[in-house]
Amino acid sequence: MKASKVGSWFYLIILLGSLEIDCRPGRKKEKEEFKFDTCNRTACEELGNRFSDTINTSILPCNNFYEHVCSRWNKLDSQGRSKYMHRVDVRKLLHGVLEKSTIRKDGAIDAADMVKIAYQSCIQNEGNYRKEAEVIKNLLKGHGIMSWALQPGVSRMNYLSVLNSTGLYPFLNVEVKRTKSSPSRNTLVVSAASPHVLPWTDWQGHGISKKKRDNIKKAYKKFIKKVILLVHPKRPNAETIAASIMHFEESVAKLDEMWFKRIAGFWADPTLPIKEMQNHLSKKFPLFLLLSNQFKKVNITLKSNQKVTVQNRYHVNAILECIQKTDSNLLQNYMGWMLILDYIKTAGGKLQEYWKTFKDEAKFSPEEPKEWKELCLDALVTEETTMYAPAAYLYLQSYFPPNEKHQAFLMISFIVDALANLIEENDWMDRKAKDKALDRLQSVRYRVGYDDFFINMTYLNTLYTFVARENITHQTPFITIHSMLRRNLELKRMQSLETNEEEFDYRFGPFFTQGYYDSTSNTLIYQAASIHGVFSEEHLPKSYLYGRTLGYKK
């Protein structure tokens, strides 16, 4: 391969991935520990000169590339390089922040106080607690299920009465998203929820034989029965009710197979006005009526011309048909059970004990085992994002103050200048390639450290307008706090229908642990956790971390 035929940025990728460069001129680094200081302009100009010298005088970068890069890289001490270990270290910091933070004792609590209380409530709630049955009943009532574990077949309600009270979950998800045709307006997206925890449609894929499957089902039915008797100790026919819930869960889960068996020509997910969409739903399912009642909870009057997308309409229609022909008591029993399972990982009390017993007896677990405090962090910040923003506020206060963000931007500006100088001065790019590379470099956008709203407590407090803060106390069981936070998030998302705000993608928030270049939006993302000095590569300065990603813009 000749150098003249290789893309210009290819050399920067190789260079930045193979050099061991200290941004402090005049010092050798082989046996010296790096200090994670921000480079000054003079140092970074020297860095640019080293780039240029290396490209023009060292081995051809495209010869023996892997040997050249990997032999250098493998000589480094591996400690601290693992992305997984990096994430673990960030989690340790989060635990420390949430465990040691003090909570104000005077006046109303703010969002930061709420995440501290919620986390500590979860940590303390691992064991049993008083009035657990009442707590579970109140949890279900908060989701519109006034009675649970009813005898199937004797209901005086119809399915519309049930769904009007509960909403469509756990049968369907209703989300507010941007439309592709009109990015400035929001649309409703309806899809199958499928929250079941057992692999009802893929036992073989999990390596589960028929004998083991029967054992899991037996243990699962026993688990449901024990929870029913926890909530209603004298409930007659608890075993029959448990069996009906399990069989209905299996029936609904098997409808998921329709997703994998779509017929050619049915792939499109149409977007239509909601009243018109009803003509394409099973028995003209009254979606407009049900959603209108739900959106009234956030003071939004849904209009008949509101655009709605139904993802995989044939799957959704199968679920709607199932709902319409099922006894309403069984619907409530199933919905209540799915909600209990939603909170089971951090429920504490007897629920937690029964959950563990089920997994032990069935010799099957739908998730990897974790320490209790890790489950608490997942429930608030990492797997769910109900309290991501206030947790980030506390983390940034402790480990990434504003001056660190300023230094990060300063670092990037110096490295951009050095790379621009390299492009102008090298002798292996023609003028057209140089201009293209310079335009690309100068037009890149940056998201570095954190988005500013994370340190604006006034704004963060507005994220929790549907939380009764007086009920967020150390005495409140975590399952109650967790349900309030989830419900708040659901209502806030519904409220966004009348705004043009796009939901924040927390995957790229302050806890994002690696630099990332998005070529679609020409954006470099280097959030706080990815550049926080404690966790930067032990042998590599920040200039290397920024530079290798800047160089990856082909």
pLDDT (tens digit per residue) in 62-85: 344 344 444 444 454 444 445 555
Burial profile 472-502: b = 16 or more Cβ within 10 angstroms, e = fewer: beeebbbbbbbbbbbbbbbbbebbbbeeeee
Task: Characterize the bridge pairing of strands 186-192 and 172-178.
Answer: antiparallel
Q: How far apart are CA 124 and CA 164, in angstroms?
A: 36
The pLDDT score that the predictor gives to residue 67 is: 47
The more confidently predicted of residues 123 and 181 is 123
User: Which range is least confidently modeled, 164-173, 179-188, 353-362?
Assistant: 179-188
Most confident of 43-47, 100-104, 193-197, 267-271: 193-197
504: left (phi over 0), alpha (psi -120 to 50) or beta: beta
Give Cα 468 to chain centroid, integer Å: 25
pLDDT digits (tens, 9 = 90+) for 421-459: 888 887 777 888 888 888 888 888 888 889 999 999 999
Is 391 contained in some domain? yes
Instruction: Examine the pLDDT at 18 and tell me if it is beyond 50.
Output: no
Three-state DSSP at 536 gives coil
Report yes or no on 359 lying in a domain.
Answer: no
Question: Residue 490's pLDDT is what?
Answer: 94
pLDDT at position 20 over 70: no
Please report the pLDDT score of residue 85 as a whole number. 57
Q: What is the pLDDT of residue 36?
A: 31
Question: Phi first, then psi: what are they for 13, rounded to 5°?
Answer: -60, -50
Inter-axis angle of helices 83-100 and 388-399, nearest 10:
90
Burial of 87 (0-12, 13-18, 19+ CB in 10 A): middle
Q: What is the mean pLDDT of residues 371-382?
A: 93
**Span 304-321, mean pLDDT?**
90
State in Å, rounded, how far the first CA of the chain is from the last one: 18
Crossing angle between the packed helical segments 328-343 and 132-142, to the nearest 10 degrees = 110
Task: Give the CA distances from residue 374 to residues 10, 370, 506, in Å, rounded to whole numbers and listed in that order.
Answer: 41, 6, 18
Q: How many angstroms separate the CA atoms of 229 and 235, rounded? A: 6
Mean pLDDT of the chain: 79
From 330, 347, 364, the end of a domain falls on 347
Question: What is the average pLDDT across 116-134?
Answer: 88
Q: What is the 3-state secondary structure (H, E, C) of 61-89?
A: CCCCHHHHHHHHHHHCCCCCCCHHHHHHH
Has residue 12 been placed in a domain?
A: yes
R_g (Cα) of the chain, nearest Å? 28
pLDDT-based confidence at residue 393 (cuts at 50, 70, 90): very high
Domain membership of residue 213 (yes or no) is: yes
Examine the domain organization and report whether 400 and 264 are in the same domain: no
Query: Pick from 347, 362, 392: which residue ends a domain?
Result: 347
d(CA 414, CA 354): 58
Contacts of 281 (CB under 8 A, 6+ apart): 287, 310, 313, 316, 317, 320
Do 186 and 500 touch, CB atoms closer than 8 A?
A: yes
Considering the domain architecture, whether residues 36 and 174 belong to the same structural domain is answered as no
* Same domain? 150 vs 298: yes
Q: State mean pLDDT over 346-356.
A: 93
Do residues 127 and 494 touch, judged by C-beta distance below 8 A?
A: no
Asked if residue 367 belongs to a domain, the reply is no
pLDDT of residue 323 exceeding 70 = yes
Domain-located, residue 490: no
DSSP conformation letters of 407-448: HHHHHHHHHHHHHHHHHHH-SSS-HHHHHHHHHHHHH-EEEE
Highest mean pLDDT among 9-23, 166-180, 375-389: 375-389
Task: Assess whether pLDDT exceeds 80 at residue 176.
Answer: yes
In this structure, what are the phi and psi dihedrals at residue 102, rounded to the nearest 5 degrees? -90, 155
105 lies in which domain range? 1-129+372-477+499-554
Q: Are residues 289 and 159 in the same domain?
A: yes
CA 232 and chain centroid, separation: 35
Question: Per the omega criterion (within 30 degrees of 0), is the bond before 390 cis?
Answer: no
- Residue 509 is classified by DSSP as S
The Cα 344–Cα 354 span in angstroms is 10
The verdict on 112 and 141 lying in the same domain is no
pLDDT by residue (tens digit) across 539-554? 444 444 444 445 544 4
Q: What local confidence, expressed as pLDDT, does residue 29 receive?
A: 40
pLDDT band for 184, please (50, 70, 90 cuts). low
Distance from C-alpha of 351 to C-alpha of 370, rounded to nearest angstrom: 17
Confidence of residue 337 (pLDDT cuts 50, 70, 90): very high
Residue among 19, 20, 22, 25 at smallest CA distance from 42? 25
Most confident of 126-135, 221-230, 284-293, 311-320: 221-230
Residue 360 lies in a domain: no
Q: What backbone torsions phi and psi does residue 224 show, to the nearest 5 degrees?
A: -60, -45
Q: Same domain for 114 and 3?
A: yes
Residues 71 and 141 in one domain: no
The one-letter amino acid code at 211 reads: K
Q: What is the mean pLDDT of residues 178-201?
A: 79
Contacts of 47 (CB under 8 A, 6+ apart): 21, 23, 25, 39, 415, 418, 543, 547
Query: 9 and 106 in one domain?
Result: yes
pLDDT at 338 over 80: yes
Range scoring the smallest mean pLDDT among 56-70, 119-133, 359-373? 56-70
For position 427, what pLDDT does the model report? 78
Residue 270's pLDDT is 79
- Choose one of 291, 312, 347: the last residue of a domain: 347
Residue 504: other Cβ atoms inside 10 A: 15
Residues 182, 114 share a domain: no
Nearest to 502 by CA among 199, 187, 240: 187
- 296 and 259 share a domain? yes
Please state the domain count of the chain: 2
Give the three-class secondary structure for 530: helix
Task: Report residue 438 as tokens.
Answer: 């310079």
CB 389 within 8 A of CB 111: yes
Residues 387 and 316 in one domain: no
Identify the CA nearest to 35 among candidates 45, 25, 43, 23: 23
Band (pLDDT 50/70/90 cuts) for residue 225 is very high
CATH classification at residue 294: 1.10.1380.10
Residue 366 domain-assigned? no
103 and 246 part of one domain: no
Which pTM does this prediction carry?
0.79
